[in-house]
Structure 1
Amino acid sequence: MLTTILAAGSAAAKGGNPYGLIPALREGGLISQTVFGLLVLMLFVSLYIFFTKIFEQQKIINQAKRVRASFWSANSLREGAAKLEKNSAYRQIVDDGLEAQEQYKELTDPVEAHDWLHGSLARSEATINSALNGGLAFLASTGATAPFIGLFGTVIGIYRALIKIGSAGQASIDAVAGPVGEALIMTALGLVVAVPAVLGYNFLQRRNKAIAESLNAFSNDVLGYLASDGRVRPTTAKKSPAKPAAPTTTAGQTGGVPTRP
Structure 2
Amino acid sequence: MLQEFMFAAAAGGNNAASALTQMGVGHLLEEMMAEPGQFAVSWAVLITLVTMSVLSIYWIVINFFKNLSLRRNSDRVISTFWETPNAQDAIRFMEEQPKSEPFSKIALDAAQAAAHHQRHEGSRLVESLNRSEFVDRALRQAVTRESSRLENGLTVLATVGSTAPFVGLLGTVWGIYGALIRIGASGQASIDAVAGPVGEALIMTALGLFVAIPAVLAYNFFTRLNRVTNNKFDSFAHDLHDFFATGARVGEMPAKR
TM normalised by structure 1 equals 0.77
* Aligned residue among 237, 242, 248 for 1:224: 242
* Aligned residue among 192, 203, 206 for 2:224: 206
Counterpart CA distance in 1 for 2:75 and 2:248 is 23
* Gap regions ≥5 residues in structure 2: 1-20, 33-38, 253-257
1:208–1:234 Cα change, 3 Å: farther
Deviation at residue 18 of structure 1 after TM alignment: 4.6
Counterpart CA distance in 1 for 2:129 and 2:41 is 62
Q: How many residue pairs get matched?
A: 218
1:202–1:196 Cα change, 3 Å: same
Higher helix share: 2
1:89 aligns with 2:102: yes
With 99-108 and 192-201 compared, the bigger mean Cα shift is at 99-108
Runs of 4+ in 1 over 4 A off after TM superposition: none
Counterpart CA distance in 1 for 2:251 and 2:53 is 45
1:101 maps to a residue whose letter is A
* Aligned residue among 128, 142, 145 for 1:124: 142
* Gap regions ≥5 residues in structure 1: 1-16, 236-261
- 1:46 aligns with 56
Is the contact made by 2:161 and 2:212 (CA closer than 8 Å) also made in structure 1?
Answer: yes
Counterpart CA distance in 1 for 2:24 and 2:219 is 32
1:36 aligns with 2:13: no
Task: State the identity %.
Answer: 37
* Aligned residue among 21, 28, 35 for 2:25: 21
- 1:11 aligns with none
**Structure 1 residues 41-88: Cα deviation after superposition (integer angstroms, max 9, x where no partner):** 211210110111111112222222203442211123331233342422
1:78–1:53 Cα change, 3 Å: farther
TM normalised by structure 2 equals 0.78
- 2:177 aligns with 159
Counterpart CA distance in 1 for 2:111 and 2:196 is 67
